[in-house]
């Protein structure tokens, strides 16, 4: 189904374009370039023709006060791109594996199986009435180091039992003491912790059936506050049911204005560990069920939603309902191992490949318009249209960079005005201007878009960079999406210039 939709989109797009635009790597002549600038503005709604400076004297014209004040900006070249069919191996999304983080394994098998996430449940049974010993802390840290080497991230959960209901947990005092012990370890390894599930309380750490009477808002509030304090502020936590979250943070679901504010509500998502198992997902949603699904759907635009299936329950667990609810609730990830009956029904029902491709985000670059040539010290104009076909968006911060390369020379400019976590399902456009250093040598450069990990420990690791779902753009060796193979830096190009410019940077 994904393939068919992609082909229809591409046919419709190409049918509306001049013939030379169908081959996105070409370099049009002056008249075609002018038409391309106008077409980009008309078709993408970006006013490329008007704003490209073709009428000369734009807002930055003549910054050096010289003859450039009357020199028109270069025309824009428009490029279109081919969408990949199927999924892309990208960080912090998709089906996940389940691992024993303290086993001493390399975890290389996770990525080899086409996954970048693994759920690690850390058992604290032996420490219900005692501090965590140094041996276990060392083992956890070593496991997180192995995950880093393997190019994966961890969904972390601490629990005092693995069920059944009635199995012992720990007291509130002991839980908070354990969190204080774990805080330095969590801080040192935040780069490979995708998120943390609340854990600790009750059977399986799912916040119910506590043997220490912690099934109440006050104790849950204390434990969640302790978890959020122990985790670095850059990371979020998932709670098992939405009504627990509403008990702690009354006033309705998280909205766009509160999102990514760092508040406790803005850092709290949802994990559904019995997705589709019954009409209310085995108690995940109290009555009225649809109202609580709406609550999850609202907050899930900005916080992580994911979990697992736990029982075969046709027709609810079959493809039509499954795909509809995964999209409605913005699911980022699912257990690849459980429930096998449900996963098997998705295979026979023909939707497993769609689910695999659309869990989390899936960014498709539709078109990009760029300056035909730029002077050293001049302004590079980029206009683009990108579509997120995934069920959800990114939930951890991540920079968007424009990378300019020639041989071993590399310049990167961060687009600080764009928060890619806001790229929800649907189309998104951008229109940016970048100042080039005046000392940049003329010649032909490669221009790429990069979405590296935000953490300095991983920012240069290709395994943790985001690949666009486009054919022929991904450079796996450097973790870059090559979108302009040949960009001309030409001292004779039109446009204003700043002879004092020393950095490659985005302009206001």
Whether omega before 288 lies within 30 degrees of 0, making that bond cis, reads: yes
Q: Where does residue 177 rank: exposed (0-12), middle (13-18), buried (19+ CB within 10 A)?
A: middle
Overall size of the chain counted in residues? 508
Please name the residue that has the structure tokens 């002018």: 34
The sign of the dihedral angle between the CA atoms of 205, 243, 321, 88 is negative
CA distance 116 to 93: 7
Same-domain check for residues 452 and 418: yes
- Let me know whether 399 and 430 are in one domain: yes
Q: Are residues 371 and 497 in the same domain?
A: yes
Kindly state the percentage of the chain with pLDDT values over 70: 86
Residue 153 and residue 193 in contact, taking contact as beta carbons nearer than 8 Å: yes
Q: Total structural domains in the chain?
A: 3
Last residue of a domain, one of 205, 235, 265: 235
pLDDT of residue 50: 32
456 and 389 in a common domain: yes
Q: What are phi and psi of 286, to 5 degrees?
A: -70, 170
Q: Are residues 423 and 479 in the same domain?
A: yes
Q: Which of 341, 358, 375 is the last residue of a domain?
A: 358
387 and 295 housed in the same domain: no
User: Which residue, of 358, 376, 403, is where some domain finishes?
Assistant: 358
What is the Cβ-side half-sphere exposure of residue 285, based on CA atoms within 13 angstroms?
Answer: 19
> Does 289 lie in the same domain as 425?
no
Domain CATH for 162: 3.20.20.80
Q: What order do you get walking across the sheet with 426-435 strand by strand?
A: 76-80, 363-371, 379-388, 426-435, 505-506
Is the bond into 343 cis (omega within 30 degrees of 0)?
Answer: no
CATH classification at residue 441: 2.60.40.770
Q: Note the pLDDT of residue 275.
A: 98
- Which residue stretches of the chain have pLDDT < 50? 1-69
For residues 303 and 430, membership in a common domain is answered with no
Q: How far apart are CA 375 and CA 495, in angstroms?
A: 7
Q: For position 71, what pLDDT does the model report?
A: 73
pLDDT at 297: 98
Please check whether residue 281 is in contact with residue 274, taking contact to mean a CB–CB distance below 8 angstroms. Answer: yes
- Spell out the SS3 assignment of 333-374: EEECCCCHHHHHHHHHHCCHHHHHHHCCCCEEEEEEEEECEE
Same domain flag for 97 and 211:
yes
Give the Å distances, CA to CA, from 433 to 32, 59, 313, 506.
22, 12, 53, 6
What pLDDT is stored for residue 161 in this prediction?
97
What pLDDT does 33 receive?
35
Residue 438 and residue 377: Cα distance in Å, rounded?
4
Is 194:152 a contact under the CB 8 Å cutoff?
no
The pTM of the full predicted model, rounded to 2 decimals, is 0.86
Strand 474-475 relative to strand 480-489: parallel, antiparallel, unpaired? Answer: antiparallel
33 shares its domain with 134? no
Provide the domain limits for residue 288: 240-358
pLDDT reported for residue 45: 36
Residue holding tokens 């870059």?
480
Asked if 145 and 22 sit in the same domain, the reply is no
Residues 164 and 228 in one domain: yes
Alpha carbons 171 and 210: distance in angstroms, whole number = 9
């Amino acid at each position: 189904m994904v393939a068919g939709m992609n082909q229809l989109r591409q046919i419709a797009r190409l049918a509306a374009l001049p013939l030379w635009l169908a081959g996105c790597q070409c370099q049009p002549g002056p008249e075609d370039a002018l038409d391309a600038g106008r077409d980009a503005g008309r078709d993408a709604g970006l006013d490329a023709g008007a704003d490209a400076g073709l009428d000369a004297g734009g807002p930055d014209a003549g910054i050096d006060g010289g003859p450039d004040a009357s020199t028109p900006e270069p025309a824009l070249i428009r490029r279109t791109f081919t969408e990949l069919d199927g999924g892309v191996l990208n960080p912090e999304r998709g089906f996940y594996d389940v691992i024993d983080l303290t086993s001493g394994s390399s975890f290389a098998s996770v990525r080899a199986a086409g996954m970048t996430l693994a759920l690690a449940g850390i058992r604290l049974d032996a420490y219900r009435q005692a501090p965590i010993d140094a041996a276990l802390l060392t083992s956890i840290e070593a496991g997180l180091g192995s995950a880093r080497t393997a190019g994966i991230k961890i969904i972390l959960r601490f629990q005092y039992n693995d069920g059944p209901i009635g199995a012992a947990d720990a007291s509130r005092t002991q839980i908070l003491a354990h969190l204080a012990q774990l805080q330095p370890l969590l801080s040192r390894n935040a780069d490979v912790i995708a998120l943390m599930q609340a854990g600790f309380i009750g059977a399986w750490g799912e916040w119910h059936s506590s043997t220490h009477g912690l099934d109440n808002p006050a104790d849950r509030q204390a434990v969640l506050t302790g978890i959020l304090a122990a985790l670095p502020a850059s990371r979020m936590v998932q709670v098992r049911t939405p009504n627990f979250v509403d008990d702690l943070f009354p006033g309705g679901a998280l909205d766009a204005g509160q999102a990514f504010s760092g508040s406790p509500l803005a850092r709290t998502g949802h994990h559904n560990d019995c997705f589709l198992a019954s009409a209310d997902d085995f108690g995940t949603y109290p009555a009225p069920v649809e109202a609580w699904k709406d609550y999850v759907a609202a907050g899930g635009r900005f916080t992580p939603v994911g979990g697992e299936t736990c029982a075969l329950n046709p027709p609810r667990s079959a493809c039509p309902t499954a795909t509809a609810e995964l999209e409605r609730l913005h699911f980022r990830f699912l257990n690849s191992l459980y429930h096998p009956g449900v996963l098997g029904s998705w295979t026979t029902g023909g939707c497993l490949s769609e689910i695999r491709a659309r869990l989390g985000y899936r960014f498709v670059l539709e078109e990009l318009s760029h300056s035909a040539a730029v002077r050293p010290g001049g302004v590079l104009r980029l206009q683009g249209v990108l579509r997120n076909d995934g069920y959800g968006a990114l939930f951890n911060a991540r920079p968007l960079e424009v990378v300019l390369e020639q041989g071993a020379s590399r310049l990167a400019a961060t687009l600080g005005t764009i928060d890619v976590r806001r790229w929800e399902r649907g189309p998104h456009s951008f229109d940016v201007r970048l100042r080039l250093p005046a000392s940049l040598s003329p010649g032909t450069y490669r221009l790429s878009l990069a979405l590296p990990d935000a953490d300095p420990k991983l920012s240069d690791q290709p395994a943790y960079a985001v690949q666009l779902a486009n054919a022929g753009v991904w450079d796996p060796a450097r973790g870059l999406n090559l979108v302009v193979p040949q960009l001309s830096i030409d001292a004779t190009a039109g446009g204003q210039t700043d002879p004092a410019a020393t950095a490659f940077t985005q302009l206001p």
